[in-house]
């Protein structure tokens, strides 16, 4: 572990909720810190000045001279490392840190770290639900819920952290007890120079871990680690000894560890093929960390999922409406379409669109053509999506509208009993909404007003 001198100067880069938690933590540890933010009035500024009136604050831009004078930059994940002032500081020997790295250095219990292009919030919350069933004291945070450093207020046996690629850019070896990359698909290509760079950033979660859990159906999740590190895999095929997968017994699919059948797949509370894979990831992570098998099975039977993640919100005249607003990239939408559409081919009406973040939408073409009755595309990057979907005469119709509400109206008009209207946008929401939660709330309100 790196030794930190008593007079080390920390500069918190980016305020907001996470930046404020960093200032509070560093100040409580007696560290010297200051703050810089590109905004004139960042969130949390009034609170910062009320609690820490003597802390130096630089606003309205990232000043390279200010950054170079620091010893350690405690970075917000929202600030790209490519920012010129950050690069100037790094060139002058200034070190990087983050709230995640500070948390992992201070936390005394066991740690599970979870990342992936999709499903990381669901799996993180699901592992926490297993811990609850097992009676183990735990906290959940990181990219989900509370900032990590606020979790140190309560000593617990287990910390379960969801980490984004932006957060992983800022860490060294985290030495997790268990770490996983659930899946890797194209995302945030407006931030990374290539898909390979994005995938390599995801791999950082494994650095220093004691046990790696990976998805054997997705080769990009396989850990690039020394041979001595313990590894466990999960996947939808038949598992090898001590691995997790699906067994066929008397015509039924069972979720299993090796040849041990733990639970009928039909008993998993969350529907869809993609959630069967999520359940296997939960089984592997929980088993490796030492949670009781009975607690794992109980959670698989009862966990109802999270808002905005393939969330059923109501049925109108026999048509089910499903909110997957959290599907902000192509991989997430593919998982939702294939997870629901395989059981209802030709009955799925897909709503998608928004800000594409530089993504390639062509991987949607085949599954959408095969499984969807129609697609309704809205928002800023609708032209790129329509061009990717509307190829040839195969598959359902593709309609282009301005807003999600217009897409909902069109989908309702063409649907019949037994259809599923799925909002899974494959895009960010900021062209028309505050965030993905706002988009999902508008979808839900539209449906509930007609129930």
The confidence score (pLDDT) of residue 192 equals 86
Average of pLDDT values for 314-341?
A: 93
- The residue ranking higher by pLDDT, 111 or 451, is 111
**Look-up of token digits 């539209």:** 446
Catalytic residue among 31, 107, 138, 188: 188
pLDDT of residue 2: 44
Q: What is the pLDDT of residue 395?
A: 60
Q: What is the DSSP letter of 267?
A: G
Q: Do domains 9-97 and 102-302 have the same CATH topology?
A: no
Sorted by sequence, the CB contacts under 8 Å of residue 137 that are 6+ apart come out as: 156, 157, 158
For the stretch 97-151, pLDDT in tens is 999 999 999 999 999 999 999 999 999 999 999 999 999 999 999 999 889 999 9
Is 120 annotated in the active site?
A: yes
Q: Is 143 a catalytic residue?
A: yes
Q: 3 pLDDT band (50/70/90 cuts)?
A: very low
pLDDT digits (tens, 9 = 90+) for 199-233: 999 999 999 999 999 999 999 999 988 778 999 99
pLDDT at 7: 81
Mean pLDDT of 266-288: 95
Per-residue pLDDT at 98: 97
CA-to-CA separations, 53 to 33, 46, 48, 50, 57, in angstroms, rounded: 12, 10, 7, 6, 10
Tabulate helix, strand, coil % of the chain (nearest 5): 35, 25, 40
* Residue 378 confidence (pLDDT) above 90: yes
Classify 102-302 by CATH class. Answer: alpha beta
As a whole number of angstroms, the distance between CA 130 and CA 162 comes to 16
- Per-residue pLDDT band at 437 (split at 50, 70, 90): very high
- pTM for the model stands at 0.86
Mean pLDDT of 241-249: 97
Fold of the 311-448 domain: 3.90.190
pLDDT category at 186 given cuts 50, 70, 90 is confident
When pLDDT is averaged across residues 433-441 and rounded to a whole number, the result is: 97
Strand-by-strand arrangement of the 95-97 sheet: 57-59, 32-37, 9-13, 72-75, 95-97
List the catalytic residue out of 118, 143, 183, 323. 143
Average confidence (pLDDT) over 238-254: 96
Tens of pLDDT, residue by residue over 20-79, are: 999 999 999 999 999 999 999 999 999 999 999 999 999 999 999 999 999 999 999 999
Q: What is the pLDDT of residue 394?
A: 57
pLDDT of residue 1: 40
What single DSSP character describes residue 305? Answer: -
- The proportion of the chain whose per-residue pLDDT surpasses 70, expressed as a percent, equals 98
Separation of alpha carbons 156 and 139, rounded Å: 7
**Between 393 and 290, the higher pLDDT residue:** 290
Strand partners, 233: 214
Contact 381, 329 (CB under 8 A): no
Up-side HSE of residue 180: CA atoms within 13 Å toward CB?
Answer: 34
Confidence check: pLDDT of 346 > 90: no
SS3 annotation, 6-40: CCCEEEEECCHHHHHHHHHHHHHCCCEEEEEECCC
Please identify which of the residues 31, 107, 118, 120 carries the catalytic annotation. 120
Quote the CA–CA distance of 187 and 327 in Å, as a whole number: 11
Q: What is the residue extent of each domain of the chain? A: 9-97, 102-302, 311-448
Summarize pLDDT for 385-430 with one digit per residue, the tens.
Answer: 999 997 555 567 999 999 999 999 999 999 999 999 999 999 999 9
Give, in words, the CATH class of 9-97.
Answer: alpha beta
Q: Examine the pLDDT at 6 and tell me if it is beyond 70.
A: no
Say how far apart CA 328 and CA 428 lie, in whole Å: 5
Are 425 and 351 spatial neighbours (Cβ–Cβ below 8 Å)?
Answer: yes
């Amino acid at each position: 572990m790196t030794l930190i001198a008593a007079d080390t100067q920390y500069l918190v880069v980016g305020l907001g909720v996470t930046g404020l938690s960093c200032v509070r933590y560093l100040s409580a540890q007696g560290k010297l810190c200051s703050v810089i933010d590109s905004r004139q009035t960042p969130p949390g500024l009034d609170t910062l000045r009320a609690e820490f009136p003597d802390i130096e604050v630089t606003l309205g831009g990232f000043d390279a001279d200010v950054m170079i004078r620091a010893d350690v930059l405690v970075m917000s994940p929202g600030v790209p490392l490519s920012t010129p002032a950050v690069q100037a500081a790094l060139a002058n020997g200034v070190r990087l840190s983050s709230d995640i790295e500070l948390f992992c250095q201070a936390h005394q219990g066991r740690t599970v770290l979870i990342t992936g292009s999709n499903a990381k919030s669901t799996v993180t919350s699901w592992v926490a639900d297993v811990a609850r069933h097992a009676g183990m004291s735990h906290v959940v945070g990181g990219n989900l819920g509370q900032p990590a450093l606020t979790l140190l207020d309560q000593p617990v046996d287990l910390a379960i952290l969801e980490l984004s690629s932006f957060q992983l850019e800022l860490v060294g070896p985290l030495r997790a007890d268990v770490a996983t990359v659930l899946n890797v698909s194209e995302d945030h290509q407006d931030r990374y120079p290539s898909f390979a760079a994005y995938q390599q950033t995801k791999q950082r979660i494994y650095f220093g871990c004691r046990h790696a859990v990976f998805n054997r159906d997705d080769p990009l999740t396989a850990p690039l680690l020394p041979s001595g590190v313990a590894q466990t895999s999960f996947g939808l095929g038949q598992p090898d000894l001590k691995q997790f997968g699906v067994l066929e017994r008397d015509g039924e699919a069972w979720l299993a560890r090796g040849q041990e059948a733990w639970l009928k797949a039909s008993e998993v509370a969350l529907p869809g093929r993609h959630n069967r894979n999520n359940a296997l990831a939960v089984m592997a992570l929980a088993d490796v960390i030492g949670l009781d098998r009975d607690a794992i099975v109980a959670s698989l039977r009862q966990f109802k999922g999270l808002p905005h993640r393939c969330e059923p919100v109501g049925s109108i005249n026999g048509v089910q409406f499903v909110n997957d607003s959290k599907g902000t990239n192509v991989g997430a939408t593919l998982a939702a379409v294939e997870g629901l559409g395989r059981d209802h081919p030709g009955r799925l009406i897909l709503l998608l669109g928004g800000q594409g973040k530089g993504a390639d939408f062509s991987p949607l073409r085949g599954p959408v053509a095969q499984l969807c009755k129609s697609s309704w595309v809205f928002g800023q990057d609708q032209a790129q999506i329509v061009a990717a979907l509307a190829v040839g005469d195969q598959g359902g119709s593709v309609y282009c509208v301005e807003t999600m509400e217009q897409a909902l109206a069109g989908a309702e008009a063409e649907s019949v009993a037994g259809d599923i209207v799925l909002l899974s946008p494959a895009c960010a929401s900021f062209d028309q909404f505050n965030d993905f939660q706002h988009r999902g709330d508008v979808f839900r309100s539209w449906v509930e007003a007609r129930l």
